[in-house]
Structure 1
Amino acid sequence: MEKFFEVKKHTYPKVQKGSANSYEDLVDKLIKNQFENKITIGEIHNTIKSYIDEENLFFLRNYNTASKDNYHNLRRGFKIYFEKENLNIAFCDNTFVMLFNAMKLFDLSYSMENLKNLFNQNKLICAFITTKEERELSFYKNAGAIITNSKFNANGWQLSHLHTVNFCNFSEIIVNSDRNDWSNDHNTRIDLNTEFDDESIKKIKAHFVRLIHPLNSFLIPKNKLIKYFGKRLGEEQELLQHVENYISKEFPKIYDEFKDMAMIKEVNNPNIISNNIQINWKNKK
């Protein structure tokens, strides 16, 4: 766990004024440098590979949004123990991923022991802003957790995933239950009956890998700081294809292993044509 505290020494720069005339140009200017710490990326990859083979606690980005009238259904920071499977599941939103993305950007590797120690204590940010309903019963608490000085959000950045974490309906695999099921001394729901088939376990692990793996996330300017013809730059298929083409060439072995762990079957298109477009970004602060 102590390794993760090192992110507090670093700050990621603010979004500056810039422009790109194609998605490929955007990758060159904003994204490639996020993958320059190749040795660290390889070490983190090996840690994650070992972790999913040997450990039994995984995080899912699920039950993470609700209208104000349904805050009682939010489960960010909540943990379930499935006794028959000896499996622990905790829930989060994308804020959880920022710590792991920071480790990659600041050239900070971590071991499986570091990761286990981080998850085996309860001070861990699993949500951007928690509700009163979540704070009452969640296992993981924002208070006292490692908060990076990197200020990604405040400095104009948002996180995008190369491959979506929403590749199946996890609400069908792990059904939500009444929040009072977490009202115990351990703030952990104990499930004595549920069993999962092998495919479901693979999907749970694949989701976790997609969440935190260093090759599956990158930063782009927030939507409100960008001017271009579309709506959500981080979801543009052509941009994602250019990012994937770059990563697959720079990290061929690691990327193939990542795809296997993450159950990624999408076909890469190395010959994608980069259309001329205009993308401008500028921090308003």
Structure 2
Amino acid sequence: MVNVQEYIENNFSKGSRVINVAVKNLVGSLDLREYSNLEELVIEMNQITNLIFSEKNKNISKIEAYDNQLTSLDFLNSLPNPEKLKWLGVFQNQISSNNLEVLAPFVNCEMLSIGKNYIRGNLSSLRYWTNLKRLDLVGIKPKVWGLECLAHNPFCGVNGAHGEFFQDYPPKNIQEFNNNTWRGSNDFRKLSNDKVQSQSQELDKLKNERSQEKKEQSQELDKLKKEQIQELDKLKKEQSQELDKLKQQCQELDKLKKEQSQEFDKLKQQYQKLDKLKKEQSLNEVFNPQ
């Protein structure tokens, strides 16, 4: 047994575009966060327990991890560009999941193999996987459902083309199942298309309602802004008028101060005259006594 992290770091540079370590008797958790150029990862037939990605892994288009010891699909949540992934194979692991919505973002995926795992959930998360060419559900325990969401997909056999559909129990709502190749019946496709159309109408209705809500909110916001602007203008005008009053009062005070100053100067002059007269009278009394 060889630790997978040590093996990868010793044999592959951080700039590697392809890492292929199939059937190397590797064990443990594999951290690929620093392998920013990685496009294809092939680790089949080992005993790897976990995969760790980061926002640096922007170019991953293929993950082939058949026959390992993976216990979850949560590693998919950390892939920054889910639309890049074209191939996802986790057949025969220890994956236990009741939530298959984690698959929804990988809309350009062409091959999905999740058989021989303990998966239970709704595969309607694949409804936008229009490029799907192969779907392998063999040996899933206990089961999945929601396959009708794929009936409008070209994978079903539009214009005579078809992909491959494998599972070891009959689809619940699909009548045609020929040599493990599912083409989809016309009735079923029509039913699904009606359902898609209904969902599309509901979505359009919801979009219109939200658009109307946004429009009303925008109008309300514009009205509120207008009222606030008017209130601010009114307040500014009142403040300007108040300031003009204060200026006028200051001018009146300056005028009053000036008048008082002039009055004080007059009184001062009078006082000086009185003082001079008093001095003259005093001298008179000294030199001209009675």
Q: TM-score range with shorter-chain normalisation? A: under 0.3
TM-score by length of 1: 0.20
TM-score by length of 2: 0.20
